[in-house]
Amino acid sequence: MKTNVLTFEGFNRPAYILEEAKLRKNLQLITHVAKEANIEVILAFKAFALWKTFPIFREYIHSVTASSLSEARLGREEFGTPVHAYSPAYTDYEIDTIARCSSHLTFNSLSQMTRYMPRVKQINPTISLGLRINPEYSEIDNILYDPCAPGSRFGVRAEKLPDRLTDGIDGFHCHCHCENNADVFQRTLEHIEQKFSKWFTQIKWINFGGGHLMTKKGYDTELLIRLLNNFHKRYPHLHVILEPGSAFLWETGPLVSQVVDIVEDKSIRTAILNVSFACHMPDCLEGPYWPSVRGAKTYESPDGSMVKTAGTKNVYRLGGNSCLSGDFMGYWEFDHELHVGQNVILEDMIHYTTVKTNMFNGVSHPSIFLARENGELELLREYSYEDYKSRMD
């Protein structure tokens, strides 16, 4: 099947569309940064785990990061390499398998390290172990995504580390960013070095985590490369790792939906779509993160009230098709009048969205397509009643 990626004409059911050309463009840029900065960049499964696309990724990168048993197995069995594992809390019934699937494993706390380190080493003698640190600094405005907020459950503060690290700890891991630019990393790096550099002689690698949105327009990749090369000059023995998720899939494809009804109440017109913000775009309610809508612009004040009335031409609230009352996203003015059956295209819906979806209400789940560079659409996954039923089994 071929389609026009500008309009996606012919669709009558919702679908995520991953565009291969845009994905490869991101992968090429990330590979360039890795080469110029002499670092390793790996894919974080928490942002993207469509394993049928792994052959494309393997042309550019050689490892992945996992935060759970399922992700660890996916990396080992489908990506084909041992993973870099990190979890806020490993469990007795999963740690053994995670260790077998991993080349690197990071502990979140000193207590988890004490409890599991001998066991992990016995299961996998060649594994490289790390400890997550908390630099107590981030520039993330939304506390929902801030791993360094007061009371954080992530990582160990410098004041709690012994002068001599436990034998067998090879690296540090930290995560302080969320879709940030290189200037934020520059300021964060100063805090990391100030608090933790005295231990750098005792470790072999450092993982600066994700949130480095190097594929976003305007990101200063040259500054990032310069910062990392200068870091190498100060600590030439340290292997540096970045594990972004969003950067790999930034602006690589939309969620295509259709209008199924238009209702009006109290002068508010709502275009009801055959997708759900609660089910298929949960960050739109949790974050909230609002995607761009093709052919539309939003009208909403900071307090959430409508700036233009629904009587204004072509202004609609976008509503989902679940039973959750709050399953809607803002007010949007379109450059055309909406009708039942028309596409509403929500941009940049591949990273995080595809891994965070759920089947609340049994709402029909969008299919997933890969738009090949030659224009062909390849169906990666279509969901059915059996997928819903099996989750309740």
- Per run of 10 residues, the mean pLDDT along the chain (length 393 residues) is 66 94 98 98 96 98 97 98 97 98 98 98 98 89 80 91 97 90 94 97 97 95 98 98 96 97 92 96 86 87 49 84 93 92 96 93 95 94 94 83
Burial grade of 55 (CB within 10 A; 0-12, 13-18, 19 or more):
exposed
3-class DSSP state of 315:
strand
Q: What integer pLDDT is reported at residue 138 of this predicted model?
A: 84
- Start and end residues for every CATH 3.20.20.10 domain found in the chain: 20-248
- CATH code: domain 20-248 is 3.20.20.10
| Pair of tokens at residue 100 | 């077998």
| Pair of tokens at residue 137 | 């600094």
- One-letter amino acid of 258: Q
Determine the Cα–Cα distance for residues 384 and 378; give it in Å rounded to an integer: 18
3-class DSSP state of 99:
helix
Burial grade of 367 (CB within 10 A; 0-12, 13-18, 19 or more):
middle
DSSP letters of 251-294?
Answer: T---EEEEEEEEEEETTEEEEEESS-HHHH-THHHHS-----BT
CA distances from 378 to 16, 51, 369 (A): 12, 14, 5
Strands 239-242 and 205-207: what pairing?
A: parallel
Q: Please check whether residue 212 is in contact with residue 177, taking contact to mean a CB–CB distance below 8 angstroms.
A: yes
Residues at the binding site are 283
Nearest to 189 by CA among 169, 214, 212: 212
The answer regarding whether domain 251-390 maps to CATH 2.40.37.10 reads yes
| Pair of tokens at residue 298 | 């939003």
Which residue's entry shows tokens 């089910």? 279
Q: What integer pLDDT is reported at residue 3 of this predicted model?
A: 61
Phi-psi region of 270 (alpha: psi -120 to 50; beta: other; left: phi over 0): beta
Residues at the binding site for substrate are 283
- Start and end residues for every CATH 2.40.37.10 domain found in the chain: 251-390
Task: Please measure the distance between the N-terminal and C-terminal CA atoms of the chain and give it in whole angstroms.
Answer: 35
3-class DSSP state of 267:
coil
